[in-house]
Amino acid sequence: MTKQWQQDQNFDQIADKFEKNIYGTSKGRLRHELLSHYLRHHLPERPLKCLDAGGGTGMMAKEMLDLGHSVLVNDISDQALELARAKLAGFADVAFHCGPLQSLAADCEFDLILCHAVLEWLHDPFDALKHLFSRLKPGGYISLSFFNRDAHRFSNLLYGNFDYIDKDFVVSNRVRLNPNNALPPSQVLDFVEKAGLDIRHQAGIRCFHDYMRDKTMQSSHYEQIKAKEIQYGTVHPYLWLGRYFHIIAVKQDARL
């Protein structure tokens, strides 16, 4: 019998391409820098035991290690973790786990869990969230970012991709680097709140960048765009337009 996590997206064979396509563009750079900005402003200023779930090639893990936290980098792609090991070779307080996050030891608990751009690649993202919540210490923080289904629909309406929308974003020849399970922010927010977590922060990630009519401005005016993303990314109605949505929540209930 196939387990649900065995249907999750694995980036073996394309880990190098994945890193270049994501972090070699203004899209990936802006996403990373906005997440880093919000984390720096919302996390306590003390060393934290951190899990980077679906941490891939280790970009965000490096950010956390630079801040003095210890990090366990988890991913199902061994090739992605090879890149992470090379990138983080100079750090002592880092470990690696290759396998689904559901396979982490039951007694592993963390002060901080990062799950960035992971849920949209999973067969059952809410089962994954349950497992992550159970690994979080009372008072611990979880940072979630995920591909925004509402913004995905909005952008395709702007592009005139009406047939794609009518097919509920299902195509026969799906590109492997395109997320296959985008989530509505309202659904994730509701799930987090019903699990007993206290939502401390929510923001849209790339509320303007991806919609710019002149795409050359994404690079030529990068710092101005980033400043406006920070200014308006947590403000209604703009936060709902972010191509990714970001949540930071705190676990209050020790029974979770």
**Is 209 known to sit in a ligand binding site?**
no
Token code pair at residue 127 = 């089962």
The one-character DSSP state at 148 is B
Neighbours of 36 (CB within 10 A): 16
Taking the C-alpha atoms of residue 133 and residue 131, their distance in angstroms, rounded to an integer, is: 5
Taking the C-alpha atoms of residue 161 and residue 218, their distance in angstroms, rounded to an integer, is: 22
The one-character DSSP state at 235 is S
**Is 236 known to sit in a ligand binding site?**
no
Taking the C-alpha atoms of residue 118 and residue 98, their distance in angstroms, rounded to an integer, is: 15
Taking the C-alpha atoms of residue 223 and residue 57, their distance in angstroms, rounded to an integer, is: 25
**Is 135 known to sit in a ligand binding site?**
no
The answer to whether 112 and 140 have CB atoms below 8 angstroms apart is: yes
**Is 75 known to sit in a ligand binding site?**
yes
**Is 28 known to sit in a ligand binding site?**
no
Token code pair at residue 17 = 């391409």
Question: Which residue positions form the known binding site?
Answer: 31, 54-55, 75, 116
Binding site for S-adenosyl-L-methionine, by residue number, is 31, 54-55, 75, 116
